[in-house]
Each structure stands twice: as structure tokens, then as C-alpha cells.
Amino acid sequence: MIQVSEKTGSEKIYAAFFNQEFPADLAIVVLWLAAGIAAIYVPGLNATPIRIMLILPVVLFIPGYCLIAALFPKNDDIGLIERIMLSIGVSIAIVPLIGFGLNFTPWGIRLEPLVISLILLTWVMVLFAHYQRAGLPPEERFRVSFSAIAGRIRREFLPQEERGVDRFLSIVLTLVILMVIITTVYVIVAPKEGAERFSEFYILGENQTAADYPDLIIPAENYPMYIGVGNHEYRSMSYTIETWTLRTEFDNITNSSTIVEMDPNNRLSLTLAHNETRIIPFDLFVKKPGYNRVEFLLFNDSVPGSDVTGYDRIKASYRNLHLWVNSR
């Protein structure tokens, strides 16, 4: 009786990645990821509607698809429709979790760390899915047969045995579905003039996370922070950021705060293209004790004169943030 030795782990890995054909669906995923990276970083391309068309599947479908492909490598594990629905649901769950985890890292929730984390996770899932399939007999492996899918869709919507009226209705239904898909894509990639326009304005702690803000301030010392501005106004925008240190007092009778003292702290200007975000290092510096609030003001096209102060200046800003501090 001949003994057949089992392959070692390294032999299985070598056989999977060097002796097996790479699945077509995973190859499309890899190419789409490369196109998505190009759509983010290639000048000119990242300012066109093509960017949204390439990025949406990377965020809403591909991560979940690769994870499901790794967990269910067999053809009969789950149906195609269930696989697609699970891919969308899992992707919607994965992306926020990555952002939540990045918030507790030195990199913070920024475009580059989020893209790199998403790409690396998807790549790992692609390699694991290929390894899982390669260990199965060829007839049991899940594979996407694009010709079979096209034939199935044709049989579902345009069956040959239908009568003339039914066939006509099937053609009309197919055209309606195509029009809905085209309209949806158009609405996403080419929003109308009435689309929501806004500017992001936020502050981050010294680790570029939404935490670790300075609260106990010693005068004449620098406290590193970051200010983030994002332009989603569908045009190039010129911004001015002002920071002010305030001493306020609360009136229990009127249930309101009064600004007793308001001194300028810092001011900078920047211009951002549409969909551009910039995170700017900022050192919080307080000249003397007694201040209990730091105000961050964002102005867009115009900045009021120096005669506008106090709450009038805060109300004149496009966006405003504040940080409560204790200056001793």
C-alpha cells in the first residue's frame, strides 16, 4: 500500500499561488482597486465624475465581496443573490469600523489612512479567498461565469417561448430597469446645481483624533492641535480661519454667557478646490491667565472688519467651533 504524504503549509501556499489560475472575479477586484486609487490621486481624474463611479464600489461592495468570497469559497455555499446582498451589507459594516479604529491611532480619520487600510484589508481578503478556492476541487470552486449570468438574465427578461404581448412587456420592463440604473448613476456622478453644498470644519487633538484636546492651559506654552477644512461647495473656495481666546461669564438670571474679553490668537487663509480637504497643524497659545474659551471661526468669501467683535463676529462667520479651557 502506497502512503501519500500530505502537503506542508508552504507547499499548499506555493501550489495555490503558483500552480493555480487566478479567479476572474478576484482579478477584476484587483484591477478595480487600482483604478480607484488612480481616481483619488491622479490629478485631473480626481476632479471628474469618474472618481465617484470608481470609488463607490470600493466602499460599498468590494470589501464585503472579498470577505464573503473568503468565508464561502464553494460554489454551493450560498446563492449568487445572497452573496451580492451579503457583500453590500458587510461592506457597509466594515468601512465605519475601519474609521472607528483609525480614530484611536496617530493617523486619525483622514483620506490616506482610510484608503490604505481599506486597500490592505481587501488585498488580504483577495489572497485568502484565492487560497481557499485553490484548496478545493475545481468543480466545487465558486467562480463567476459572466456568459452564464448574461444568459440567465436574457432568459429571465426575454424568454423565447413567450407570446408577442408578453415578450413586448418583458422588453419594456428591461428598458425601464436600464433607465432607472442609468438615471441613478447620473444623479450620483452629476449632481444638479441644487445639490447640498457645505464646508467641513473641525478640530483634532495632538494625535489627529477627535480626542485629547487641551483643557488645562498654562500661559505662554504651546499646545499642538489640528484644524480640518473640507470644501464640498462645487467650486473653488477661499477660506480664512481665525482663532480667538475669550473670557466669558455666565449670568444665571438671563441664562446666557457674556463675553468679557476677546483677544485674537491666530489667523490664516487658504484656497481649496472642490472635494479637497486639508488638515492644518495649529499651536494653541494663550498669552495670560483667565481665559476659559477658545473660538475657531471659519469665513468663506468675505471677512468682516476689525470693528465687528464679540458675538457679532462669531455670528458673521460661516462656521464656528469652540473649546472650553481653564487657563491658569
Q: Angle 24-41/50-60 helices, nearest 10 degrees?
A: 130
For the chain, give the percent of residues with pLDDT over 90.
18
pLDDT of residue 317: 94
How many CA atoms lie within 13 Å of 57's alpha carbon, on the beta-carbon side? 19
Going by pLDDT thresholds of 50, 70 and 90, the confidence category of residue 312 is very high
Distance from C-alpha of 304 to C-alpha of 126, rounded to nearest angstrom? 54
Alpha-helical (H) ranges within 72-224 are 80-102, 111-134, 146-157, 164-189
- Within 8 A by CB and 6+ apart from 251, the residues are 257, 258
pLDDT digits (tens, 9 = 90+) for 283-294: 988 888 888 999
pLDDT of residue 86: 87
Q: Are 91 and 58 in contact (CB under 8 A)?
A: no
Distance from C-alpha of 177 to C-alpha of 180, rounded to nearest angstrom? 5
Least reliable range by pLDDT among 95-109, 260-274, 293-307? 95-109
> What are the backbone angles phi and psi of residue 317, rounded to the nearest 5°?
-75, 155
Q: Are 68 and 93 in contact (CB under 8 A)?
A: no
Domain 198-327 has CATH 2.60.40.10: yes
Q: Are 238 and 300 in contact (CB under 8 A)?
A: yes
Could you give the C-alpha distances from 271 to 244, 281, 302, in angstroms and in order? 21, 16, 13
Distance from C-alpha of 57 to C-alpha of 15, rounded to nearest angstrom? 31
pLDDT digits (tens, 9 = 90+) for 170-224: 677 667 766 766 666 565 555 555 557 889 999 999 888 888 898 888 888 889 9
Strand order in the sheet with 222-232: 198-204, 222-232, 277-285
C-alpha cell of 96? 465605519
How many CA atoms lie within 13 Å of 69's alpha carbon, on the beta-carbon side? 30
CA-based nearest residue to 162, from 173, 146, 178:
173
Residue intervals in the chain for CATH 2.60.40.10: 198-327
Going by pLDDT thresholds of 50, 70 and 90, the confidence category of residue 2 is very low
pLDDT digits (tens, 9 = 90+) for 215-274: 888 888 889 999 999 998 888 899 999 999 999 988 787 788 888 999 998 899 999 988
Distance from C-alpha of 37 to C-alpha of 190, rounded to nearest angstrom? 21
Q: Are 304 and 242 in contact (CB under 8 A)?
A: no
Average pLDDT over residues 13-42: 81
Q: Are 204 and 279 in contact (CB under 8 A)?
A: yes
pLDDT reading at 143 higher than 70: yes
Going by pLDDT thresholds of 50, 70 and 90, the confidence category of residue 4 is very low
Distance from C-alpha of 178 to C-alpha of 190, rounded to nearest angstrom? 18
Going by pLDDT thresholds of 50, 70 and 90, the confidence category of residue 3 is very low
> Does the CA dihedral 227-233-237-241 come out positive or negative?
negative
**H or E segment at 298?**
strand 293-299
Whether pTM > 0.75 for this model: the answer is: no
Distance from C-alpha of 27 to C-alpha of 294, rounded to nearest angstrom? 52
Provide the greatest CA pair distance for the chain. 99
Least reliable range by pLDDT among 8-17, 42-51, 80-89, 301-310? 8-17
Hey, what's the torsion of the CAs at 187, 188, 194, 197, to 10 degrees? 180
